[in-house]
Structure 1
């Protein structure tokens, strides 16, 4: 494949140089820039749209974790830090990998291989299967759940809340990006702020706004906009309410 463009984000010049040395051994990696703090990195990422960033955690000002949270899934993130205790937090932010300094060349090769696979898959993206596994953080607990467990996605800024039998959790991705990965046979865009699972709908009734109100299996009631209500009726082949 063509070279993968990356930006190195680390406040220590020696650490940036060492990572550049290691990455130079990989012909499929092109280092397009580097940044010494989160604010500088955010600007460069927006301007240059890298395929991935190698991101330190402890930096002056905003931390790498805070930067990752603000980026959502706009870029692939490989954390590269001297501290191993932040791995759970990193993976809850959809980090692609977590490397501990001094970086092991074999682990770096593994991370680059993962990046290459992910970029190839994104080019031929199809909807995710129901048994696709997600790592989700509930409070201090990480769970691996199948996609089918998610009853509802709710837009909250650039992120999304998800509702499952285990409770409420968050994904660092916009609703539009999530929708693009979902199978329309299982999930439906109820409104600008909600995506719901079709087989989680227990009942529906007319809403005052001329749309619909759907009661879900978790007890929540979601309003379906008037336009989307028409689509849903057609999808489910309803002849009457």
Structure 2
């Protein structure tokens, strides 16, 4: 999943980003409101963590403008403005959640997980498909109850497949949601990581659960073809 952190306290912004990257998220950072609005308008994000006191453009103004054209993007306000009236205003304008500073990083991550599950109508923290189980809290994968060791990118790819089980997913979509802005869209990173993920799952399952639809992308294949 790809997340944008908008926070003018650079050290805090970078610390949040590093923590989320450790958990396997693709993260972009931004320290100005006007730049953040431009990024949200031109890039693809699954969730935005938004401060309110920002140079260039206030967070409330960003939220208001974004909601005019994008009702689906999950936005979590993270702000020192902690009064009830501030929270009511943010939620009424269109924030999906509001967390006041100071905060515990573990709570922020839990709220992010919850919002992302809601994006995909997924209520359970454990994603299931045939013999595969992925725990989104513990960031672990098992096949038939046996743990499988995966890299962060492999786990992120598998999570995206499990959240989109009936869908053919293009390489471009995977690049948009699993990699951040620093990734080279012309590289073969997606194919390399897909190949590695396939190899591990094939060893564990005895078959390759990821199929390719030529010219369109990849999909989970439990023995049924979408061609």
TM superposition score normalised by structure 1 = 0.45
Q: Which has the higher strand share?
A: 1
Select the structure of larger CA radius of gyration. 1
Q: Highest relative contact order (Cα 8 Å, sep 6+), 1 or 2?
A: 2
TM superposition score normalised by structure 2 = 0.48
Q: Which has the higher helix share?
A: 2
